[in-house]
Structure 1
Amino acid sequence: MSRKSFSEINLLTYQMAYQKNVLKRRIKWFTERRIIARRFEKETLPFKIYEHTSLIRRHLGDVDMQLQDNKAINLSLVKPKIDGVVILPGQKFSFWYLVGKCTGSKGFKEGLVIKNGEASKGIGGGMCQFTNLIHWLVLHSPLTILEHHHHNGLDLFPDFGRQVPFGTGTSIAYNYIDYQFVNNTRQSFQLKIELNSEYIIGALYSDLPVENSYHVVEENCFFSKKDQNFYRNNEVYRIINNKKTGNLLSKELIVKSHSKIVYDEKYIPKELIKEDCI
């Protein structure tokens, strides 16, 4: 039996470890406050770099749709904390720095969250869809990702037919499991967010055009079975081309997944199962 970490001993030690991590992050924010983006502009920068639309209410296996409705409320509360933020050259973006803690007193509802590798519910649940959207925009730009967490090793929901490849999602928890990127370019970038009853729409703008084009592709996607367990496998690459010449500049492996599915196998497309693969 593996030895438990300090935070796993009991509820008290968990809370102590949690508060320690929150404090460490706040200290780091304080020391970096001059380089963290927090300026907002109503006017949109002139050049659209990339845009993506994400469906808010998705059917994820047997997940309660009320949690999806609550997520829509939570996303609407976060929108004004992100929409219009400008990231100047040399600045970094921190999701939790801008959003703050999601509490019931601020109007946040119970939404879907992941705890210990399992689907659960909690106040402010569903925020990962916001960071998923931002991450997807950043992947299509010259911005540099600083902090990105993911539910490695587990495929939690049957969500086939998705536009964004499996493995490119994000995992966040206030405040020490954050999503951050830095602007190491010589131009400014701006995040713009729109919400309607069905979709959250994100766009990344800049004061200058970018020299390269960015594409994210999925390859070698299949399901394998071992010891009565099914696993989801894929590889996700980011391809960068020069816009003027069309020349390939790089093909970078972003993630290679071999993730155990934790939902009913009835949701697995049979044509994608390779029984002999491990």
Structure 2
Amino acid sequence: MGRARDAVRHARRVASPAASRLRRELQWRRARVGRLLVGDGRAQPCRVAEHATPLFRPLAGLDEELQRGKVVNLRLAAARLDGLVLPPGAVFSFWRHVGRPSRSRGFVDGLVLDHGSLSAGVGGGMCQLTNLLYWMTLHTPLEVTERWRHSYDVFPDAGRTQPFGSGATCSWPTLDLQVSNPTAATFRLEVGVTDTHLEGRWTSDRPVGLRYEVYEAAHVMEPTMTGAFVRRNVLRRRVFDLDGAQVADEPVAENHALMRYRPFLPSGDA
């Protein structure tokens, strides 16, 4: 019986990646997620949203070599995405366009978060790119149709400029980031890696006529029965017209993550 169980477990491990890939490809077909065309190299005339994040962070426990590997991986992925055009009704899929991060395609070991622990993995570092894309897209009329939250909060806030939970994790091919264009405008994605930053921009062929402000609400850090802490919040988005009048205040996402560090608690708190 023991050998039979081991054989079943081995078969499941072998079949799992193939089954995940098949399920994802079927989803791409059902959602009509196709290969988007690359533009002619010229940005659309209207800048809609842009953002940049540093490539290297001086955080304890981060292997410098893995950070350098991450940059290699980001350059490869950015080259696959830069210039993609999202016409009305089209759907963008991160993994559909980046493809499987493998050594044969030039990807190297980079930083991977596995259940809240730091490790090395081929193609590691892609989450920095999906984080950037997600944050930028929240500042456009494009719709995020698939996004996976981070399940662990690994590092204490150090100079945080965005709300907790404003990123999107990814894992080939099961955890994807997908964006649809419900508007009549055509959008173009620009992504690049400099010596110090990952940079991105959404441009459009016409003004969108709206401005977006993402903020957090209901933010708490709560202890669990085990003594660990869980961090929760709600992301919301204010929408303003060109005159500065607020036209909407809408929920974006709910986040909760197990904290891998102990939060600072004021004196007297448990």
With structure 1 as the length reference, what TM-score do the two structures score? 0.85
Alpha-carbon distance between aligned partners in 2 of 1:10 and 1:56, rounded to the nearest angstrom: 39
Give yes or no for contact 1:224–1:274 (8 Å, CA) kept in 2.
no
Q: Deviations over 1:138-174 (max 9, x none)?
A: 100000111101123x212224322222112112111
Match of residue 166, structure 2, among 165, 168, 189: 168
Over 3 Å counting, the alpha-carbon distance change for 1:30 and 1:230 in structure 2 is closer
The aligned residue for residue 249 of structure 2 is: 251
1:190–1:37 distance in 2 versus 1, CA, 3 Å: farther
* Residue 58 (structure 2) pairs with residue 59 (structure 1): yes
For residues 94-243 of structure 1, the aligned pairs below 5 Å read: 94-152=93-151, 154-227=152-225, 228-243=227-242
Task: State the partner residue of 1:39.
Answer: 37
Whether the 8 Å contact between 1:223 and 1:231 is mirrored in structure 2 is: yes
- Cα distance in structure 2, aligned partners of 1:225 and 1:176: 30
- CA pair 159-57 structure 1, distance change in 2 beyond 3 A: farther
Q: Which runs of 5+ in 1 are unaligned?
A: 1-5
Give aligned pairs, total: 262
Do residues 20 (structure 1) and 14 (structure 2) align? no
CA contact (8 A) 1:37 1:92 kept: no
Q: Which moved more, 1:48-57 or 1:19-28?
A: 19-28
Tell me by how many angstroms 1:89 deviates: 0.2
Q: Mark the CA change 1:128 to 1:258 in structure 2 (over 3 Å): closer, same or farther.
A: closer
1:20: how far off?
0.9
Query: Alignment RMSD, CA only?
Result: 2.3
- Are the equivalent residues in 2 in contact too, given 1:37–1:86 (CA < 8 A)? no
The separation in 2 between residues aligned to 1:256 and 1:28, in whole angstroms, is: 24
Q: Distance in 2 between matches of 1:275 and 1:189?
A: 49
Alpha-carbon distance in structure 1 between the residues aligned to 2:53 and 2:183: 27
- In the alignment, structure 1 residue 48 sits paired with structure 2 residue 42: no
SS at match of 2:53: strand
Give distance in 2, aligned partners of 1:19 and 1:274: 53
Q: For 1:254 and 1:234, how far apart are their aligned partners in 2?
A: 11
**Could you tell me whether the CA contact under 8 Å between 2:35 and 2:96 is conserved in 1?**
no
1:270: how far off? 4.5
Counterpart in 2 of 1:261? 259
d(CA) in 1 for partners of 2:126, 2:89:
26
Aligned partners of 1:27, 1:253: CA distance in 2, in Å? 29
| 53-62 or 132-141, larger mean C-alpha shift | 53-62
8 Å CA contact 1:37, 1:88 repeated in 2: no
The answer to whether the 8 Å contact 2:94/2:178 transfers is yes
Distance 1:212 1:239 in 2: 10
Q: State the 1:117 CA deviation.
A: 4.4
With normalisation by structure 2, the TM-score equals: 0.88
Please say if residues 131 and 168 of structure 2, whose CA atoms lie closer than 8 Å, have aligned partners that are also in contact.
yes
Note closer, same or farther for the CA distance 1:234–1:215 as it changes in structure 2 (3 Å cut). same
2:252 is the alignment partner of 1:275: no
